[in-house]
Amino acid sequence: MYREMTTDELQEQLNQGVTLNLIDVREPDEWEEGHIGSARSIPLSQFQARAHEVHDVEGEVVFICRSGGRSGRVCEFLTLQGFDVVNVAGGMLAWQGEIVEGK
């Protein structure tokens, strides 16, 4: 089973300067509507082809999507392969911090 964190816990870690490898698995149109500034976009529809990019950045691997469902599926998939990953419960719907619009 994968670990989860709340959006408040995510905000706290980002505020403390904790190095996180935050990956947003929403599709490009959702990403452009608003995302967390330090996140990287690897849309779920492209995930299998781009899975090798997950570990290209240092820090704990944390996944987020709109509500936590898609990112949870990615976490389940990677956990079965032996990776230690974290899902953001509630996703961007629960995020109260700043967002960046556009690409």
Active site residues: 65
- Residue 59 is given by DSSP the state S
Specify whether the CB–CB gap between 70 and 26 falls below 8 A.
yes
Q: Which of 92, 94, 93 is nearest to 35 (CA)?
A: 92
Measure the CA–CA gap between 11 and 1, rounded to whole angstroms: 23
